[in-house]
Amino acid sequence: MANLSDFLPAAAAGGGGGIPKYEEFTSSGTFTPTQALIDAGGRISLFIVGAGQSGSSATAEGIGGGGGEVKFAYTTLTSTNPITVTIGASSGGSTTFAGSSGGGDDIVALGGVGVVNSNDRGSRYDNRLGSGFGASHYTNQVTSAGTGFMGYGAGGSTRSAGGIRIPAANSGQGGGYNGQAGGSGFLRVTWFE
């Protein structure tokens, strides 16, 4: 997107700009584009968060769950067909926006993954933007959890390392050690009419 007018076509046409609208999803549901949105160019932005993974149930290892992927995305819709939104569950489920049913793109934020040990916590998160790895206390190597992005997707804690101890719902935060569930996912759709 090179110019603000790409996102606000009404402003480019001399219409004085559009009125900002948004819809948030804390559970699975349906987003139905309005005709006014399509008439204004159909451009939407998404803030999308996958669910956090549960912490390790092996207390001796003390490993927190990884946070869900956190990302911003844009797509352009061309019809008022309903779009299915699936919010990731608290055990690392992905959050999806099935935008292709409205003529746009399908957008996915992956759920968090568990850490097997403190040495593999980097490579397993390469494809999860903004995701915080879980804290680890494994073979006496204590590591702190990743912070995620603006509180979303932060890693879960152990007894002796930093991280989220009680994951908030719809935060995508990883669960703490001893099998604590991670936070569920979240989606916000923003557009102008």
What's the rounded Cα separation, in Å, for the pair 130 and 64? 17
Sheet containing 83-86: order of strands: 29-31, 83-86, 95-98, 106-109
The domain tally of the chain equals 1
The verdict on residue 161 lying in a domain is: yes
The verdict on residue 151 lying in a domain is: yes
Residue 186 has pLDDT above 60, yes or no: yes
Mean pLDDT, the chain, as a whole number?
83
Q: 123 vs 9, which has greater pLDDT?
A: 9
The verdict on residue 2 lying in a domain is: no
The verdict on residue 183 lying in a domain is: yes
Domain that holds residue 31: 18-192
What's the rounded Cα separation, in Å, for the pair 53 and 37? 35
Tokens of residue 38, six digits? 């399509």
The verdict on residue 3 lying in a domain is: no
The verdict on residue 37 lying in a domain is: yes
* pLDDT tens digits for range 77-119: 999 999 999 999 988 899 999 999 999 999 999 998 875 554 5
User: Per-residue confidence at 40, pLDDT binned at 50, 70, 90?
Assistant: very high
The verdict on residue 29 lying in a domain is: yes
The verdict on residue 97 lying in a domain is: yes
**Could you write out the DSSP letters of every residue in 35-72?**
HHHHHTT-EEEEEEEPPPPPPPS-TTT-BPPPPPPEEE
